[in-house]
Amino acid sequence: MTTLTYSVPGISCGHCRTAITEEVTQVERVTGVEVDLDAKRVTVQGSDVDDAAVRAAIDEAGYDVAA
């Protein structure tokens, strides 16, 4: 089980949460996505999840990962 976290400053509302969740959920082997609106953080769980694929999915949703 892998847990990856990403800081995404552009997150501001429920729409952001929905957009990011929909994209990241489609990444292979991802079993859970949490978007924390206050912390502006995305937490991804799964088994052997590809970090680059998650970053690409967040980008696809229209958001930039801070680091």
Does the protein bind Cu ion through residue 1 (CB under 5 A)? no
Residue 39: its H or E element: none
Mask for 2-41, x = binds Cu ion (CB under 5 A): ----------xx-xx-------------------------
Shortest Cβ distance from residue 46 to Cu ion (Å)? 24
- 18 or 47, CB closer to Cu ion? 18
Q: How many residues does the chain have?
A: 67
42 forms bridges with which residues in the sheet?
6, 35
